[in-house]
Structure 1
Amino acid sequence: MSQDKQQRQRHIDKAGMLSIVRQCELLEVPRSSFYYKPLGESELNLELMRLIDEEYLLHPWLGVPRMTTWLRKDKGYKINPKRIERLYRLMGLSATGPKPNTSKKGKGALHRVYKYLLKGLKIVRPNQAWAMDITYIPVQGGYLYLCAIIDLYSRYVVGWSLSNAMSADWCKQTLQGAIARHGCPEILNTDQGSQFTAYEFCDWVTHPERGIKLSMDGKGRAIDNIFIERLWRSVKY
């Protein structure tokens, strides 16, 4: 890509008023160069990721052993659980059923876990509670991660962005964009993914000047963030 084209690409606002497609057209930037960055996965792994993603959306309680069994028996793949375990980690997935050792142990001093605050809470106004999550998005020849934030009262997507890697800084920037446009929520609910439990993310969100309370799903319980799980189904299929 030429230097001039790279400069134009930087002008694209991932969560602006115009769609990414329209912004790319106006700036004469190919959508493929904006979205896709090769990530080095084999064709087999990309196909397995697609199948895992489709089945997981239908049955989010499936862990690595049961997903491996399904891929072997129903789809005919000769694979071992270690491969599927790696792909689960790569895709940011975990089964929704309870697991042993779901406490904070092992996350380390640079990670924090917060209580789940939405149970029994009546959502009656915009910005009372937002939900934020990351999902895997297959694209031609690879994949990307989509981070989205929805207002749990209006069910409106207040912020989103795409990346080829999951990081706390990326999540923070996505949230900053949403807050710049819509103001701060009273509560932000996430899962216990390492991007959201990272000190860098938690410290910024809970800073007194913002007044945001962090809420986190029970580990491995995607059902706690049910509204954004429904969004993923709508976005993908």
Structure 2
Amino acid sequence: MKYEFIKNHESLFPIEKMCSVLKVSYSIYYKWEARPLSNRERRKRELKKQIISIYFAAKQRCGSPRITVELESSGFKTFRITVAKYMKELGLRSKLSRKFRVTTDSKHNYLVAENILNRNFLVGSPSHAWVFDITYLQTKDGFLYLTAIIDLFDRKVIGWSLCTGMSATETSLAAWKISVKNRKVGSKLIFHSDRGVQYASKKFTNTLAFYGVKGV
């Protein structure tokens, strides 16, 4: 399951980092990835790649019916139930779906910072503004929570965390530790989040204060 997850998300995250987070041997993964594939496995892998591409091109707002139509228009003959199955394996779910799993708890007693960024997502230099978010990935063994930190300057993911819990230590703090290793913190760095409890907790706000970062 871990190998499949890494393979399905290699276009989004560095393979080496995913192996490290999931505690998978880098060399063994590549041996698994290089194994001969049957025609069925090859088709399944290609179909999943197309599903991921269509899903994110639609800004995560399409379900299995629409993706099936898009696939068929591109020459991929498949069934909606098959697309739905693969989307479930990939942890993909339309944002328009009524059923969702809450990852943001904005009803907390921590201090909520002023929104300094104010949706100004165009910046002219590195480490001027970082944005954070948490999403979930459904697997057959339960949910995994993915925290990502992106520098708005070049839209690169500079920090991330993949875990089974939603505490600040597992999510925002873990992702922050990776981001500060990958990129120098600017003197006027602005940190933008959805103001959930993971970012408003004392542990995380104290960390931002230590680095002299403005949280919004």
Please, what TM-score do these two structures have when normalized by structure 1? Answer: 0.50
CA distance in 1, matches of 2:18, 2:144: 15
- What are the equivalent positions in structure 2 for 1:130-209 lying under 5 Å apart? 130-170=130-170, 171-185=172-186, 186-207=189-210
Deviation at 1:118, TM superposition (A): 1.5
Deviations 1:168-221 (A, max 9, x none): 1121122022112211140111112111111111121122xx121111xxxxxx
Distance 2:200 2:104 in 1: 16
Matched, 1:55 2:55: no
Q: How many residues align?
A: 142
> d(CA) in 2 for partners of 1:18 and 1:107?
36
Q: Percent identity?
A: 24
Rounded Cα–Cα distance in structure 2 between residues aligned with 1:17 and 1:128? 27
CA distance in 2, matches of 1:211, 1:93: 25
Cα distance in 1 for residues equivalent to 2:15 and 2:139: 23
Task: Identify the residue that residue 35 of structure 2 maps to in structure 1.
Answer: none
| Aligned 1:1-237 pairs, distance under 5 A | 18-21=16-19, 24-26=24-26, 54-56=93-95, 59=96, 67=98, 88-89=101-102, 92=103, 107-108=108-109, 111-119=110-118, 120=120, 122-170=122-170, 171-185=172-186, 186-207=189-210, 210-215=211-216
Distance 2:153 2:198 in 1: 25
Cα distance change, pair 24–124 in 1 and its aligned pair in 2 (3 A): same
Q: 1 or 2 for the larger relative contact order (CA 8 Å, sep ≥6)?
A: 1
Equivalent residue letter for 1:180: K
Q: CA RMSD, aligned part only?
A: 3.5
- The answer (yes or no) to whether the contact 1:112–1:202 under 8 Å persists in 2 is no
Partners of 1:121 and 1:133 in 2: how far apart?
14
The AA in structure 1 aligned to 2:141 is G
Give, as a single letter, the amino acid of the residue that structure 2 aligns with 1:54. Answer: R
Normalised by the size of structure 2, how large is the TM-score?
A: 0.55
| 3-state SS of 2:174 partner | helix
